[in-house]
Chains A and B, each alone.
Chain A
Amino acid sequence: MPAESGSNHRPETGAFFQRDRTWHPPALTPNYKTSVLRSPQKAPLAFDNTLSEIAGPVFGHAMLGELDADLIHNFARPGESAIGERIIVYGRVLDERGVGVPGALLEFWQANAGGRYRHKKDGYLAPLDPNFGGCGRAITSEDGGYAFRTVKPGPYPWPNGPNDWRPSHIHFSVFGHGFAQRLITQMYFEGDPLIWHCPIARGIPDKAAIETLIAVLDMQATIPFDARAYKFDIVLRGRRSSLFENRLEGN
């Protein structure tokens, strides 16, 4: 896997900033019932990153297909398209220093416009859309930018409480430059009242942290008579400069 990104400067090899685990949801969030038996109860072992955490796989733009970032068309029959509110989701992947992260692989998945996933375990009443698969991917540009086209996913009920509904959301999986930056999260939509009822979103203790997962409508980026646009930036762990550290072995 050749490193395409940042090819004219030396790759960074510093350790990543300590993760602020109070900003993330704790492992045990009892109102999200599945976490009860799946949450570690002992303290995690802390240590400064070694090369095993600092290094990470890199994915080249060459692996992408033409429609990978177009969920409206990438599963649709020729000449057809997915049903739903047409939107563009765009933004940047940054690190905690505010630096754009180029070459980051983003993978997305979501329910269709009715709130139904194309998955054998999803039995919700809303129908499948024969033209919607629900997955897509993109790799960030030199400044960390990405964009994809999709339909707005619908909210749906889920078996947690007797009447719990997930807000509309898109799942994001992100690879930065080091395996310690690996992150999965969810994007919510501005103005959705279900966010504040959701046991998964509210597993995040700080309201300000939840708000960083809410994409904002951007009328300036809409395509008139085609699609509205939502902006969603993602922040990965920052990294220390290795300039003032003891040289890593072998350098």
Chain B
Amino acid sequence: MAQSLDRLRESPSQTAGPYVHIGLTPNFCGIGGVYASDLGATMVNDKTKGERIGLRIRVLDGTGTPLKDALVEIWQADTDGLYNSPAERRGTADPNFSGWGRCPTETGLCTFDTIKPGRVPSRDGSLMAPHITLWIVARGINLGLHTRLYFSDEEKANAQDPILTRIEHSVRVPTLIAKRTGDIYVFDVHLQGEKETVFFDS
């Protein structure tokens, strides 16, 4: 027998269930007076630097029906590509931008008012294309789904992005690219089927 590594194992995930909004957005679902406001409901203020954009995100099941009981969280860098996080060692992110937001999909659509992120370096130092990390939970999803939203007006950067270029079947790359109309980006997450979104194991 060799020595033991004495490692623990990650707690297994369980679905967020149909009532995730009680815990994560209680004001939104009518439980007022417990918290002053729902966390992640507002990402920007008057002083936030960068280009204002809106995201319109839907999550669709295997029949193409939008989920109305999901919760989407997003996480992104500021306009200079810096994260508002202790793990950010390259500089100080915009103090008026948390970089994190959450939104329920009760109408079948969730919306975020945010800014377009700057570029963040990958591990080898090359710049990744601007992107927003998504984390999706819902009834019927056993382990939160991790993916990214990239931007349709960043064709050149997208073509060189180390994650997008890693996707073996390039026909699936468009599943990660939000389409721009004015200041709004529209993004559909397909949980399964022909257009299934590329989800991550990272």
Chain A residues engaging chain B, CB cutoff 8 angstroms: 1, 3, 5-6, 11-13, 19-21, 23-27, 29, 32, 34-42, 44-59, 63, 65, 67-68, 74-75, 94-98, 107-109, 117-122, 133-137, 171, 173, 177-180, 182-186, 200-201, 203-204, 209-210, 212-213, 234-238, 246, 248-251
B131 touches A52 (CB 8 A): yes
Chain B residues engaging chain A, CB cutoff 8 angstroms: 6-24, 26, 29-31, 33-36, 39, 61-63, 67, 69, 73, 75, 77, 83-91, 98-100, 120-123, 125, 128, 131, 133, 135, 137-146, 148, 162-163, 166-167, 191-193, 196-202
Nearest 4 A/B pairs, CB to CB: A109-B23, A34-B140, A250-B90, A38-B140
CB-CB nearest in chain B for A166: B17
CB-CB nearest in chain A for B163: A47
A119 touches B22 (CB 8 A): yes
Contacts of B162 in A (CB 8 A): 47
Contacts of A65 in B (CB 8 A): 34-36
In whole Å, how far is A157's beta carbon from the nearest beta carbon of chain B?
Answer: 14
A251 touches B75 (CB 8 A): no
B23 touches A236 (CB 8 A): no
Among A35, A41, A46, A185, which residue has its beta carbon within 8 angstroms of that of B13? A185
In whole Å, how far is B43's beta carbon from the nearest beta carbon of chain A?
Answer: 11
Contacts of B145 in A (CB 8 A): 40
What CA separation (Å) do A211 and B23 show in the bound complex? 24
A47 touches B202 (CB 8 A): yes
What CA separation (Å) do A168 and B15 show in the bound complex? 15
In whole Å, how far is B199's beta carbon from the nearest beta carbon of chain A?
Answer: 5
What CA separation (Å) do A135 and B163 show in the bound complex? 37
Contacts of B23 in A (CB 8 A): 107-109, 134-135, 171, 173
What CA separation (Å) do A90 and B69 show in the bound complex? 29
B11 touches A37 (CB 8 A): no
What CA separation (Å) do A209 and B14 show in the bound complex? 11
Contacts of B142 in A (CB 8 A): 24-27, 29, 32, 35, 39, 203
What CA separation (Å) do A52 and B201 show in the bound complex? 13
Not counting A39-B192, A50-B120, A50-B123, a sample of 5 additional A-B residue pairs whose C-beta atoms are within 8 angstroms of each other reads A24-B143, A34-B140, A42-B196, A68-B35, A117-B19
Among B29, B33, B62, B201, which residue has its beta carbon within 8 angstroms of that of A45? B201
Contacts of A59 in B (CB 8 A): 39
Among A25, A58, A95, which residue has its beta carbon within 8 angstroms of that of B12? A25
Among A27, A42, A117, A135, which residue has its beta carbon within 8 angstroms of that of B34? A135
CB-CB nearest in chain B for A236: B10
B14 touches A37 (CB 8 A): no
B87 touches A55 (CB 8 A): yes
B7 touches A98 (CB 8 A): yes
B199 touches A120 (CB 8 A): no
CB-CB nearest in chain B for A13: B87
In whole Å, how far is B144's beta carbon from the nearest beta carbon of chain A?
Answer: 6
